Amino acid sequence: MEQNKITMIKKLTSVITALIITISMAAQITIIPKPNSIKVNEDNFALNSETVIYSNEKERANIYYLQEFIKDATPFPLKQQIEYPSQNFIILEVTQEGKIPAEGYKLQVSSKGVTIKGSTQTGIFYGIQSLLQMLPATIYSGNISGHEKWIIQGVEIEDSPRYSYRGMHLDVSRTFFDVNTVKKFINWLSFHKMNKFHWHLTDDNGWRVEIKKYPKLTEVGAWRGENEALDAAFGSGNKRYGGFYTQREIKEIVAYATERHIEIIPEIDLPGHSRAVTAAYPEVGCDGEDESVSVQGEEQNVWCVGKEHNFKMLNNIIKEVAALFPSKYFHIGGDEVNYEQWNNCPHCQALMKEKEMQKHEELLNYFVRKMEIIVEKHGKHMAGWDEILDGGELKPQTRVYAWRSVAKGIESVTKGQPTVMMPGEYCYFDMKQSPAERGHNWAGIVTLEKVYSLDPTSKIASANAQITTANGQVNLATSKSTPSLTQEQEALILGVQGGLWAELFGRPARFMEYQAYPRIAALSEVGWTLPENKEFNEFSYRLSTAHFERMHQMGIEFRMDPPKVVYINGSIMVTAPYPWSIVRYTTDESEPTMYSPLYRGEIITDRAQKFRFATFYKDQIKSISVKPENANYTYLKPITTIETSMTENSRFPIKNVTDYSFKTYFRSNSKIKAGDYFIYKFDSPVKASRITVETGIPNITFYGVTDGYAEFSYDGVNYVEKTEFKLNSAVLYPKEEVKSVRIVATKPNDGYILALQDLRIEE
């Protein structure tokens, strides 16, 4: 009874809060990224079939752009008028009056119509983006629904961005995205007033751009799998996986981005991360005895610096790629070089001796400086990851992308380099969004709020922060005291960029979008909106009441927060992420679907562990499903020993899979091969209804068994009920008490090591 009352009161409070916010925000503007000055007025303007568009721009791009939206989603033709209209209009006006900043705009809505002013086409384009967000969200759908009122709130907006660099990065090497997906990605960025797309075109696991002079880069280097030169990886399995863009397709994408005021910065990742190159042209790699691997476990993935003719090939590659992109910048990577390769290479060592270099970082700097010259020769400035700071000086115009920490960004501007902030702990959208979700976590859990909290130019930025890098090392920031930047140094912080590394984007379907949004919406505000205009709860309100629907109409399968579910005193209580969200549930451990019952209030049960809950948006977008947090699970923990043919990595010992702590796990030192096995042996026979065998790193589904089976034994000698692994796991259903469980591989897995977890044994 008491419990009931509390729930009632809680519910009422949340409904009332929602109402208050709704009423007070009703006449308000929900644009993302938030404009820097908004004055709402009493007027409003209704679009109708007589509304005309007028522009004094020389180019008609903006008119066409807006007309398309209006024509597709409303019943109105929005005809162009040649004379300046006096009423019922949308006016696009380029003007040098009023000193509107280059990317800024003024948007005025009165009962007569809409006026967008800018000093450039880009400014007007951003004014149009804000206008679109003041219309019903179906404006993004491309279809007429017939239910909307096309009324625009009276307002005066004066707006311009905080930073000139507002970017997103996408790795198309680990997971390949086709032309249409890349275009969609770019289009969505433009809706968020983002203006840079950093296209990570090459990496160890696939070379994705056609190079006419070196056709093997894509003939060989764009494909991986069982019978390919590149190993299978990241759960793409032992089938042929890959793809690349022809130069014609690249040009098509560049033109598409340019129409949307987005500059594409190409990246060819050098001199490390180059396994796809050495698979196609082994001669570019180092010579000498060396079996070391890169942080990602790749062998032979470094360009030899001692072979002078390599620079001819690099020049030829850069020449072809540079010609495809109008951007002034060319990114050459520079990250995570496996220096062991250079240490053991006679050519690299001879060069170091000749040039009297002490450290391999100096050799990196030697390489980078030569790349600067090549890149400049082809009319671009160079850009690279923050490792390029490590070995020596750079040209003053060379741009640094600070990924390891905010401190690296501060170090970079202190050295005088123009810098883009993309510290992993705020900007890496390949990181998990909560502990139970899929994703990397080496830079921590990157929640929406965390992204939103970044202030790239803040003087108290976490310069002393320690951050753990991808290979598990702890990096100590170089600057120990609170940095205070000079104005010139501060001006060198060009802006901010999010990163989408794609090792984990193979599944589930459209996981890239799940990782990208709404975090990109938060990032767009970090890049655009002044800190004094930003507040997370208010952002979250605009996001959940208006922008979710826009994203949905744009066709983005964005992430939805799961509900919070607890089990107390025999009842399950659910808190939805937003007062207006829908939660559905099942009672048999199955995934909730749009047909599952709605959660309407406290559920009394003694089988809490069987329940699964998920938040739904419009019955189509679903959160991950969750169990009640503290329900009593029935996993058994019998005393277990394990036998294996594999050798352990001492940081992830085999005993980790017999402690029944599901956080610790085993890693081997090599791939699993056909015939390799694991046997879990129970001290006393175990009665279980179901045993789930999980391989791969928890929540990071690669490094698991790709091809193999699991089986069990009633007597510890004979094995029965062979079950093939599917997506890293196998589920066994014993009928009697079990003495042991065995895993056997039938082919090598698609990762350079194998990871294994504890058995999930249910009574």
- Collapsed DSSP state (helix, strand, coil) of residue 138: helix
| Residue 335 vs 758, nearer CB to ligand TNX | 335
Q: Beta strand 729-732 with 690-694: parallel, antiparallel or unpaired?
A: antiparallel
| 669 Cβ neighbours under 8 A, 6+ residues apart | 646, 647, 648, 649, 753
The 486-525 site mask, x for binding ligand TNX (CB under 6 A), equals: ---------------x-x----------------------
Report the C-alpha gap between 452 and 540 in whole angstroms: 10
CB-based contact 481:422 (threshold 8 Å): no
Q: Which is nearer to ligand TNX, 74 or 294 (CB)?
A: 294
Window 376-405: contact mask with ligand TNX (x via CB under 6 A): ---------x-----------------x--
Query: What 3-state class would DSSP assign to 688?
Result: coil
Closer to ligand TNX by Cβ: residue 385 or 678:
385
Distance in Å, CB of 667 to ligand TNX, minimum: 17
Instruction: Name which position in 159, 231, 267, 336 contacts ligand TNX (CB under 6 A).
Output: 336
User: In whole angstroms, how close is the CB of 430 to ligand TNX at the nearest point?
Assistant: 5
Contact set for ligand TNX, span 256-275 (CB under 6 A) = none
Work out whether 335 is an interface residue with ligand TNX (CB under 6 A).
yes
Cα–Cα distance, 516 to 616 (Å, whole number)? 18
Q: Is 170 in the site for ligand TNX (CB under 6 A)?
A: no
Q: For residues 614 and 591, give the distance between their C-alpha atoms in angstroms, rounded to a whole number.
A: 8
Q: Which two tokens stand for residue 186?
A: 């770019």
Q: What is the x/- site pattern for ligand TNX, positions 664-703, by CB under 6 A?
A: ----------------------------------------
* Phi, psi of 364, deg, nearest 5: -60, -45
Q: Which is nearer to ligand TNX, 140 or 403 (CB)?
A: 403
Nearer to ligand TNX, 408 or 739 (CB): 408
Which of 440, 542, 547, 742 lies at the binding interface for ligand TNX (CB under 6 A)? 440
CB of 573 to ligand TNX, least distance (A): 36
DSSP β-ladder status, 755-756 and 666-667 = antiparallel
Residue 406: what are its φ and ψ, rounded to 5°? -60, -40
Q: How far is the CB of 275 from ligand TNX (least distance, A)?
A: 12
Shortest Å distance, C-beta 333 to ligand TNX: 7
Q: How many Cα atoms sit within 13 Å of 520 on the Cβ side? A: 33
Residue nearer to ligand TNX on the CB measure, 272 or 579: 272
Number of residues that bind ligand TNX (CB under 6 A): 10
Cβ count within 10 A of residue 737: 12
Residue 263 vs 503, nearer CB to ligand TNX: 503
Q: What secondary structure, in 3-state letters, does 682-741 show? A: EEEEECCCEEEEEECECCECCCCCCCEEEEEECCCCCCEEEEECECCEEEECCCCCEEEE
Three-state SS for 77? coil
Taking the least distance from each CB to ligand TNX, the nearer of 21 and 445 is 445
For ligand TNX, give the closer residue by CB, 407 or 688.
407
Cβ of residue 320: shortest distance to ligand TNX, in angstroms? 23
State the minimum distance, in angstroms, from the CB of residue 384 to ligand TNX: 9
Question: Which is closer to ligand TNX, CB of 297 or CB of 483?
Answer: 297
Report the residue number, 100 or 421, with the smaller CB distance to ligand TNX.
421
Q: Which helix (H) or strand (E) holds 196?
A: strand 196-200
CB of 149 to ligand TNX, least distance (A): 45
Q: What are the structure tokens assigned to 325, written together?
A: 């992109």
Task: Give the number of other CB atoms < 10 A from CB of residue 179.
Answer: 15
- Per CB under 6 A, contacts with ligand TNX among 612-631 are none
- Per the listing, tokens 């997506």 go with 727
- Which residue type sits at 523? L
Q: Which residues contact 168 (CB under 8 A, 6 or more apart)?
A: 185, 189, 194, 196, 197, 198, 497, 498, 500, 516, 520, 523
Q: How far is the CB of 9 from ligand TNX (least distance, A)?
A: 44
3-state secondary structure of 283: helix
Told to check if 470 binds ligand TNX by CB under 6 A, we report yes
CB 761 within 8 A of CB 634: no
Task: Identify whether 518 is preceded by a cis peptide bond (ω within 30 of 0).
Answer: yes
Name the DSSP class of 181.
H
Our finding on whether 298 is near ligand TNX (CB under 6 A) is no
**How far apart are CB 164 and ligand TNX at their closest, in Å?**
22
């940095």: which residue's tokens?
483
CB-facing half-sphere around the CA of 258: CA atoms within 13 A:
10
According to the binding rule CB under 6 A, does residue 428 interact with ligand TNX? yes
Minimum CB separation of residue 578 from ligand TNX in Å reads 29
Minimum gap (Å) between residue 403 Cβ and ligand TNX: 5
Residue ranges in contact with ligand TNX by CB under 6 A: 335-336, 385, 403, 428, 430, 440, 470, 501, 503
